[in-house]
């Protein structure tokens, strides 16, 4: 049998989609050093004898959880896994070896492991006589999209979050900005914060707004795991600033975004939320360090005040930074836009004449 993708019959694909559904129960994509993975074991009669998902770093992998639930019934089963079983020893042993030891007869997986350290489980299983099939699923790829981008690029995936008025202002002329967007949009921002490993702002934002950069509930109280708070810039952040409420913060004095992203990647952070002001956002955009934009647009006009992004060095429309719309949602009176950088145009089309 070759190692390439194969077509499966409907029952196999349905079980594989169940593995993806299980994986979604793990920590959000990018909020953990490890990918989200789901697994289930199905016997020859089509009965599920074990299910599991990876709950986060340091916990048993999905395959191990499923094997523990199955016990002696695992022998001769088919394992459906959302990501290729790992072949390395980290905090836990190789999942490929665990499947072999349990006597699993067949393994079907959706996503190939992109990492040098953990890849190779499929080949190890094949070499031991296990029937292995790779069947890519878009749902499995999307599940760990940010994590995959981080481990293949060697830096965290970066989402730039911005809240703005319809005319692109992030604050009024006097600097006030609370609140441009409504409560539903603000709740959504806290859900987004809960999905990342770090939140980054510039010293300008830290000094002007004194943000807490925490994940909070509707009562304004911090909840759950808190992301690392990062301030970029050379100006001193006062000891009493909200961002310095405890030791879970970091200041980076380099203007190069990759000088911020590298140490975060070394800390096993895979998803970063950029909440900095217009100057920081412009610098990161120009450096190609932003992978996704989450824009919350309010039906409000200010007519003056700081724009949502600073100078990008764009002198003509042909030099504009282009984004592609990935998703749009209404949150109360506000609109949430999810955008991604558009691929560079290699063969631009002839401009369409403007209307008179």
45: domain CATH number is: 3.40.140.10
**Residues 195 and 95 grouped into a single domain:** no
Known binding residue 283? Answer is yes
Torsion 89-92-96-98 (CA) sign: positive
Known binding residue 213? Answer is yes
- Classify residue 279: in a domain, yes or no: yes
Of 122, 145, 168, the position where a domain reaches its end is 145
Known binding residue 74? Answer is no
Position of tokens 């709950």?
55
User: Cβ contacts of residue 234 below 8 Å, gap of 6+?
Assistant: 203, 253
- Classify residue 351: in a domain, yes or no: no
**Residues 138 and 45 grouped into a single domain:** yes
**Residues 45 and 187 grouped into a single domain:** no
Range of the domain at 70: 10-145
**Residue 129 phi, psi dihedral angles, 5° rounding:** 95, 5
Coil, strand or helix at 246: coil
- Classify residue 321: in a domain, yes or no: yes
**Residues 42 and 186 grouped into a single domain:** no
Known binding residue 179? Answer is yes
- Classify residue 226: in a domain, yes or no: yes
Known binding residue 21? Answer is no
What pLDDT tens digit does each residue of the chain (356 aa) get? 334 444 457 788 999 999 999 999 988 767 788 899 999 999 999 999 999 999 988 889 999 999 999 999 999 999 999 999 998 776 667 899 999 999 999 999 998 888 777 678 999 999 999 999 999 999 999 999 999 999 999 999 999 999 999 999 999 998 888 889 999 999 999 999 999 999 999 999 999 889 999 998 888 888 888 999 999 999 999 999 999 999 999 999 998 999 999 999 999 999 999 997 899 999 999 999 999 999 999 999 999 999 999 999 999 999 999 999 999 999 999 999 999 998 865 444 444 444 43
Torsion 128-131-134-140 (CA) sign: negative
- Classify residue 1: in a domain, yes or no: no
Of 145, 174, 193, the position where a domain reaches its end is 145
- 292 has catalytic annotation: no
Distance of CA 316 to the CA centre of its chain: 33
Indicate the angle between helix axes 62-70 and 10-23, nearest 10 degrees. Answer: 110
**Residues 94 and 172 grouped into a single domain:** no
At residue 133, the pLDDT reads 93
Catalytic residue among 51, 63, 84, 292: 63
Known binding residue 277? Answer is yes
**Total of domains in the chain:** 2
**Residues 178 and 224 grouped into a single domain:** yes
Cis peptide leading into residue 179 (ω within 30°): yes
Known binding residue 209? Answer is yes
- Classify residue 349: in a domain, yes or no: no
Alpha-carbon gap, residue 126 to 148, rounded angstroms: 24
The CATH number of residue 185's host domain is: 3.40.430.10
Q: Single out the residue of 169, 163, 223, 166 nearest to residue 191, CA to CA.
A: 223
Position of tokens 């992203």?
261
Distance of CA 329 to the CA centre of its chain: 19
- Classify residue 60: in a domain, yes or no: yes
Instruction: Report CA dihedral (257, 259, 264, 268) to the nearest 10 degrees.
Output: 110
At residue 122, the pLDDT reads 92
Known binding residue 40? Answer is no
**Residues 122 and 222 grouped into a single domain:** no
At residue 2, the pLDDT reads 39
Q: What is the largest CA-CA distance in the chain?
A: 77
- Classify residue 303: in a domain, yes or no: yes
**Residues 158 and 137 grouped into a single domain:** no
**Residues 238 and 337 grouped into a single domain:** yes
Of 102, 117, 145, the position where a domain reaches its end is 145
């Amino acid at each position: 049998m070759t190692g390439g993708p194969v077509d499966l019959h409907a029952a196999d694909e349905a079980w594989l989609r169940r593995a993806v559904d299980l994986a979604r129960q793990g920590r959000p994509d990018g909020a953990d050093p490890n990918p989200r993975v789901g697994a289930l074991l199905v016997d020859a009669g089509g009965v599920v004898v074990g299910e599991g998902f990876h709950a986060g770093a340091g916990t048993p992998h999905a395959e191990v959880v499923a094997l523990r639930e199955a016990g002696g019934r695992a022998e001769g089963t088919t394992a459906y896994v959302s990501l290729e079983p790992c072949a390395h020893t980290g905090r836990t042993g190789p999942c490929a070896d665990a499947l072999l030891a349990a006597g699993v007869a067949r393994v079907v997986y959706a996503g190939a492991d992109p990492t040098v350290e953990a890849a190779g489980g499929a080949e190890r299983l094949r070499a031991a006589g296990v029937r292995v099939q790779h069947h890519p699923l878009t749902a499995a790829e999307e599940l760990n999209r940010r994590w995959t981008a981080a481990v293949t690029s060697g830096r965290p995936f970066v989402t730039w979050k911005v809240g703005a008025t319809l005319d692109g202002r992030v604050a009024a002329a006097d600097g006030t900005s609370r609140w441009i967007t409504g409560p539903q949009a603000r709740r959504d921002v806290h859900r987004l914060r809960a999905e990342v490993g770090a939140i980054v702002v510039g010293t300008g934002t830290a000094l002007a707004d004194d943000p807490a950069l925490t994940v909070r509930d509707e009562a304004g109280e911090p909840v759950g795991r808190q992301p690392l708070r990062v301030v970029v810039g050379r100006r001193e952040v006062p000891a009493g600033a909200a961002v310095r409420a405890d030791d879970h913060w970091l200041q980076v004095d380099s203007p190069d975004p990759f000088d911020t992203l590298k140490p975060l990647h070394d800390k096993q952070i895979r998803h970063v939320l950029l909440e900095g002001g217009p100057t920081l956002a412009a610098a990161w955009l120009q450096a190609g360090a932003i992978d996704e934009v989450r824009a919350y647009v309010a039906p409000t006009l200010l007519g003056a005040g700081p724009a949502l992004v600073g100078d990008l060095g764009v002198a003509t429309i042909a030099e504009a930074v282009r984004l592609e719309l990935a998703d749009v949602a209404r949150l109360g009176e506000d609109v949430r836009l999810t955008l991604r950088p558009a691929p560079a145009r290699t063969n631009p089309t002839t401009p369409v004449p403007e209307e008179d």
